[in-house]
Amino acid sequence: MTSTVKNINANLCTRCGKCVPHCPTYRVFRSETYSPRGRLFFFQRGIYHQSLEACLFCGKCERVCPNRVGFVESGLEIIKDKKEPIILKEASDLIGGHPLQILSKLRFLDRFDKILPEKGKVNPKKIYSFKENQGKPDLLVYFSCDLKHLYPQVLEKFLSLLKKKGINVWVVEDSECCGAHFLSLGFPSLVKQRALKNLKVLQEVEAPVVFFCATCLWMFKKVYPKFFEGTSYEKDFLDLAKRGIFAYKALSLFGEEELKVLADRSKDSSVLFHLPCHLTEEFSLVKNKIKVSEFCCGSPKISLYWEGFPEKYKRVWIQNLVKVKVVATFCAGCFLNFNMVLSSPPQIKHWLELL
């Protein structure tokens, strides 16, 4: 996600172990097989192990590795050509095309009821129209699942701020879910389907593409190009990746003074701005930073959720929330996970809700 080169060459790993204590799955399972160098061992020998599926792709291992070994790259390399169980794949495609839409139908479960906005509260398609805008856009908004179902008010606020500054923003209504949940489930072909649909719609207009979710941005910048490496689409996805920016950075470019509000809020000890794993490198490129707390939430990854992993990993970061009344994050997955494992207070919000 930055210009820093990460070498997928596993032979560069010296087994120094610097990555091990930073790995969320190792910290819970306490097994070398669930550490980055353990996974790399399997990758080098072409051996399948369930720990490969458990990787969160948080990138913490890469950021501390002296040789910049591409642990995440290795994991994606394995998954992109993975054989898929046909029946499970078809079932996942049928019910998982719009994951948060599925959750919205399960509102009778308390845990989902508190996460999702009231039914009928917002109908984004009636409020934001891609087709009503005139002229060439300055920015495109990737209309992700979280904007549709978790915090649509964030998009309203973002559009309102930039409209006052004369910035022409188009919301791409035909955007597909990024497919992160399919990556989590191990269905690369379904990820590729979503990728191609998003490429088609976002290639229609040339402008920076704004993301409100760290994982969505990561999918576009790292996963899509990796999955289409060596194909006729590789250059197209690399070009699309270069156009992706996260909404905070967009505001730093077009509405810098608005971010002073967030800077002030970040100094409040009762408010914690959580920096998601998949936003760490992008955030480092922003000049106007706010005070953040960087830690892995434990991921809402389905396979790990059933094993109770998020609840177990909570003990690693829960001390960060002493006296905190509001946790603001920038990732739909983190937003969901915090809501799953925490009771209010704290309230869980998106960064831009605090503008």
Q: Where are the chain's structural domains?
A: 10-80, 93-249, 255-354
Residues 33-66: tens digit of each pLDDT: 999 999 888 888 888 788 888 899 999 999 999 9
Measured CA to CA, the distance from residue 316 to residue 320 in angstroms comes to 9
* Partners of 245 in the β-ladder: 210
Whether residue 330 has pLDDT greater than 90 = yes
Task: State phi, psi for 92 to the nearest 5 degrees.
Answer: -65, -40
Measured CA to CA, the distance from residue 47 to residue 26 in angstroms comes to 19
Within 98-227, strands assigned E span 139-142, 169-172, 209-211
Both tokens of 238, joined, read: 């690399």
Cβ–Cβ < 8 Å for 283, 292: yes
Work out the average pLDDT over 69-79. 85
Residues 153-193: tens digit of each pLDDT: 999 999 999 989 999 999 998 999 999 988 988 889 999 99
Measured CA to CA, the distance from residue 186 to residue 198 in angstroms comes to 20
Cα-Cα-Cα-Cα torsion 335, 255, 266, 277, nearest 10 degrees, comes to 40
Residues 236-295: tens digit of each pLDDT: 999 999 999 999 999 998 888 888 999 999 999 999 999 999 999 899 888 778 999 999
